[in-house]
Amino acid sequence: MSAIQPPAELVWWKQPLDKVEGTWIGIALVWSLIMFFMMPFWHVYGKQNLSSEAYRTTPQAYMAKTQAMVDQYTIRTETSAQLPVVRPPPGSDVYLLGRLWQWWPLLELEKGQTYRLHISSMDWNHGFSLQPVNINTQIIPGYEMVLTVTPDTSGEQTIICNEFCGIGHHTMLGKIYVTEGGR
């Protein structure tokens, strides 16, 4: 049998299996079984996937929670965009909302402290990508995504919308400022 010439019998499954072909089928089967069993292992022990929660909400209810946090914990406003910078206490629930074409408000968190970060969209699907940490999740209107985050490096982290959300998508950037504790 040749790979160049068509088989004499057009019923291919009745053809005898070549030794090399059988070897490759066996390798593919073994590799797929290894990957099948490694996926749950990586999920549990690999620390690659954030454990997250999702709750149903409405834009009005979520906006009210976010506004209450902003009213209580605003420490300054960014002069360039007049966005509030919010510094909630460690261990608290922190609210961030996505809307065309902005992440609101800006957050200031303490290094080494754990927060429950709630994220929702007011209008369209948005992608939440926190760089350089490489946290990535989809933000869907009507759902409140909750991520447990513990910033481990101080500095400025950028939030990027990585789900196309319209003409101003490329301007949808936010910030999380991570400071040393006690500041």
Gap between the Cα atoms of 64 and 31, Å rounded: 50
What average pLDDT does the segment 152-168 reach? 91
Residue 58: what pLDDT?
94
By percentage, how much of the chain surpasses pLDDT 90? 58
Between 12 and 96, the more confident residue is 96
Gap between the Cα atoms of 147 and 158, Å rounded: 16
Residue 100: what pLDDT?
87
Average pLDDT, the chain: 88
Residues whose CB is less than 8 angstroms from the CB of residue 110 and which lie 6 or more positions away in sequence, other chains included = 90, 151, 178, 179, 180, 181, 182, 183
pLDDT in tens, 36-73: 999 888 877 776 666 788 999 999 999 999 999 999 99
Q: Is the pLDDT of residue 145 over 80?
A: yes
Residue 15: what pLDDT?
76
* Token pair belonging to 129: 């990508």
Gap between the Cα atoms of 44 and 38, Å rounded: 10
